[in-house]
Amino acid sequence: MEDEKLQTEEGLPEQQTEGDRQQESDGQQSPEQSEVGKLKAEIDALKAEIDRKRKEIEFWRNKYQQTVIRVAVINEATKLGAINPELIFELIGSKCELVESDGEQKVVVNMHDSSDEDGGTEAYELPKAIMKLFARYPYLRQKSSAKGAGSKTSDFSPITLESLKSLSLDELRARKDELERLAKAMLG
């Protein structure tokens, strides 16, 4: 009996020690667990870096596309005789997109089709879109003079803030429709 009691008492501290060890191991990570934690933190940092790089690449891709579109619109508008090629870009630049066709990049313009009763948009190649804009707003394009063979002169000067200040009241009234069309075109 006493031997059993003694064994029980001797076994008890061993069990407590085992339980204490279990509690200690719960509070502290094993070397494998701490290594896994470090790896997870490294993976999270790499994911964040990849995401940041992806956003940066997207930013520069968009910047490149905007620059290509801007240059294409201004060059084409200049070739087609725009009075102010920058204004043409302001009017249609936001409707342009760069597409790849037959292995080369082209700029297309998503414009409202006036013949479409639903007011839908259609994609036009850049020269055609600019010509449609000129057809809608003829004052945006230089007119050929009958006197100067081939030389382009404007029927009237382009409207700028400076030119508005110099116009008389009668001249402003005469160009009222033009000013309204220009304002509508700019406001979209």
Nearest to 68 by CA among 32, 93, 85, 49: 93
pTM of the prediction?
0.52
Task: Kindly tell me the sign of the dihedral angle through the C-alpha atoms of 85, 188, 124, 137.
Answer: negative
Residue 34 forms part of a structural domain: no
- Give yes or no: residues 64 and 119 share one domain: yes
Confidence of residue 112 (pLDDT cuts 50, 70, 90): confident
* 136 and 52 inside one domain: yes
Mention every residue, 6+ apart, whose C-beta is less than 8 A from residue 109.
Answer: 92, 95, 96, 123, 124, 125, 126, 129
The answer as to whether 32 is a domain residue is: no
Number of domains in the chain: 2
Q: What is the mean pLDDT of residues 29-50?
A: 90
- Given a cut of 70, is residue 13 above it in pLDDT? no
Residue 95: inside a domain: yes
In a domain, 120, yes or no: yes
Buried b (16+ CB within 10 A) or exposed e, 136-165: ebebbbbeeeeeeeeeeeeeeeebeeeeee
Same domain, 125 and 163: no
Domain that holds residue 180: 158-188
Asked if residue 42 is part of any domain, the answer here is: no
Q: What is the pLDDT of residue 51?
A: 95
16 within domain boundaries: no
Average pLDDT, rounded, for the chain: 75
